Protein backbone atom coordinates (compact mmCIF):
# COMPACT_ATOMS: atom_id res chain seq x y z
CA UNK A 1 0.00 0.00 0.00
CA UNK A 2 1.27 3.45 -0.86
CA UNK A 3 1.54 5.79 2.10
CA UNK A 4 0.91 9.44 1.36
CA UNK A 5 1.56 12.14 3.86
CA UNK A 6 0.91 15.85 3.72
CA UNK A 7 1.60 18.64 6.16
CA UNK A 8 -1.34 21.04 6.41
CA UNK A 9 -0.96 24.29 8.33
CA UNK A 10 -4.47 25.10 9.52
CA UNK A 11 -6.67 25.64 12.57
CA UNK A 12 -9.14 22.96 13.67
CA UNK A 13 -12.72 24.21 13.93
CA UNK A 14 -14.53 21.05 14.94
CA UNK A 15 -14.62 17.28 14.93
CA UNK A 16 -16.95 16.01 12.19
CA UNK A 17 -17.48 12.44 13.42
CA UNK A 18 -17.52 11.07 16.97
CA UNK A 19 -16.14 7.73 15.78
CA UNK A 20 -12.40 8.40 16.25
CA UNK A 21 -11.17 4.84 15.55
CA UNK A 22 -12.32 1.90 13.47
CA UNK A 23 -11.60 -1.85 13.16
CA UNK A 24 -8.80 -1.94 10.60
CA UNK A 25 -7.52 -4.49 8.11
CA UNK A 26 -3.87 -5.42 8.73
CA UNK A 27 -3.36 -5.76 4.97
CA UNK A 28 -4.90 -2.63 3.44
CA UNK A 29 -6.05 -0.47 6.43
CA UNK A 30 -9.67 -0.55 5.20
CA UNK A 31 -12.50 -0.90 7.68
CA UNK A 32 -13.27 -4.54 8.48
CA UNK A 33 -16.68 -5.83 9.55
CA UNK A 34 -18.10 -8.73 11.52
CA UNK A 35 -18.90 -11.72 9.34
CA UNK A 36 -22.61 -12.45 9.16
CA UNK A 37 -22.25 -16.25 9.34
CA UNK A 38 -19.65 -16.24 12.16
CA UNK A 39 -19.83 -13.23 14.48
CA UNK A 40 -16.57 -14.24 16.22
CA UNK A 41 -14.66 -13.29 13.05
CA UNK A 42 -14.01 -10.08 11.12
CA UNK A 43 -13.39 -9.81 7.37
CA UNK A 44 -12.04 -7.20 4.99
CA UNK A 45 -14.30 -6.99 1.96
CA UNK A 46 -11.59 -5.20 -0.01
CA UNK A 47 -8.72 -7.70 0.24
CA UNK A 48 -10.24 -10.74 1.94
CA UNK A 49 -8.21 -10.58 5.18
CA UNK A 50 -9.91 -12.45 8.05
CA UNK A 51 -9.22 -12.63 11.78
CA UNK A 52 -10.84 -13.45 15.09
CA UNK A 53 -12.60 -10.65 16.97
CA UNK A 54 -9.87 -10.71 19.66
CA UNK A 55 -7.19 -10.09 17.02
CA UNK A 56 -8.75 -7.00 15.43
CA UNK A 57 -6.49 -3.95 15.22
CA UNK A 58 -8.06 -0.53 15.60
CA UNK A 59 -6.84 2.55 13.80
CA UNK A 60 -7.40 6.23 14.47
CA UNK A 61 -9.46 8.28 12.06
CA UNK A 62 -10.16 11.91 12.82
CA UNK A 63 -12.46 13.75 10.44
CA UNK A 64 -11.97 17.46 11.05
CA UNK A 65 -13.36 20.74 9.82
CA UNK A 66 -10.42 23.15 9.52
CA UNK A 67 -9.71 26.68 8.33
CA UNK A 68 -6.80 28.29 6.51
CA UNK A 69 -6.57 31.58 4.61
CA UNK A 70 -10.26 32.36 5.29
CA UNK A 71 -11.35 29.05 3.73
CA UNK A 72 -13.05 26.16 5.52
CA UNK A 73 -12.48 22.59 4.38
CA UNK A 74 -12.41 19.02 5.63
CA UNK A 75 -9.32 17.00 6.56
CA UNK A 76 -9.20 13.37 7.65
CA UNK A 77 -6.18 12.16 9.62
CA UNK A 78 -5.50 8.42 9.87
CA UNK A 79 -3.32 6.02 11.74
CA UNK A 80 -0.48 5.93 14.21
CA UNK A 81 0.46 9.59 13.63
CA UNK A 82 -2.32 10.25 16.14
CA UNK A 83 -0.84 8.00 18.86
CA UNK A 84 1.12 10.90 20.44
CA UNK A 85 -2.05 13.05 20.39
CA UNK A 86 -4.07 10.45 22.29
CA UNK A 87 -1.11 9.04 24.25
CA UNK A 88 -2.22 5.49 23.54
CA UNK A 89 -2.57 3.11 20.56
CA UNK A 90 -6.06 3.04 19.03
CA UNK A 91 -6.53 -0.67 19.93
CA UNK A 92 -5.78 0.07 23.57
CA UNK A 93 -8.16 3.05 23.62
CA UNK A 94 -10.87 0.88 22.04
CA UNK A 95 -10.45 -1.69 24.84
CA UNK A 96 -10.73 1.04 27.48
CA UNK A 97 -13.92 2.41 25.88
CA UNK A 98 -15.42 -1.08 25.48
CA UNK A 99 -14.66 -2.01 29.09
CA UNK A 100 -16.37 1.05 30.59
CA UNK A 101 -19.25 0.47 32.95
CA UNK A 102 -21.92 -1.52 31.08
CA UNK A 103 -24.64 0.97 32.02
CA UNK A 104 -23.30 3.44 29.42
CA UNK A 105 -24.83 3.08 25.96
CA UNK A 106 -22.32 2.74 23.07
CA UNK A 107 -23.65 5.92 21.42
CA UNK A 108 -23.08 7.82 24.69
CA UNK A 109 -19.54 6.44 24.93
CA UNK A 110 -18.65 7.75 21.49
CA UNK A 111 -20.35 11.09 22.15
CA UNK A 112 -18.25 11.49 25.32
CA UNK A 113 -15.11 10.43 23.46
CA UNK A 114 -15.88 12.95 20.71
CA UNK A 115 -16.27 15.73 23.30
CA UNK A 116 -12.95 14.71 24.88
CA UNK A 117 -11.19 15.02 21.54
Which 3 state secondary structure label does DSSP give 115?
A: helix
Among 27, 81, 100, 106, binds Zn ion (CB under 5 A): 27
Beta strand ranges found along 1-117 (DSSP E):
11-15, 21-24, 33-34, 41-43, 50-52, 57-68, 71-78
Cα–Cα dist 76/71, whole Å: 16
Q: Which is nearer to Zn ion, 30 or 65 (CB)?
A: 30
| Residue 56 Cβ vs Zn ion, minimum distance, rounded to whole Å | 12
| Residue 50 Cβ vs Zn ion, minimum distance, rounded to whole Å | 10
Q: Contact 56/94 with Cβ under 8 angstroms?
A: no
3-state helix, strand, coil in the chain (%, to 5): 25, 30, 40
| Residue 101 Cβ vs Zn ion, minimum distance, rounded to whole Å | 33
| Residue 48 Cβ vs Zn ion, minimum distance, rounded to whole Å | 7
Q: Site map for Zn ion, 28-67, x if CB under 5 A? A: x-x-------------x-xx-x------------------
> Which residues of the shown chain bind Zn ion in the complex (CB under 5 A)?
25, 27-28, 30, 44, 46-47, 49
Amino acid sequence: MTVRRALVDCAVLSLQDTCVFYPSCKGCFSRIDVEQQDTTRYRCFRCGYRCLKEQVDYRYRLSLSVTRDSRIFGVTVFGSTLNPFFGIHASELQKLVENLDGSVEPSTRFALLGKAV
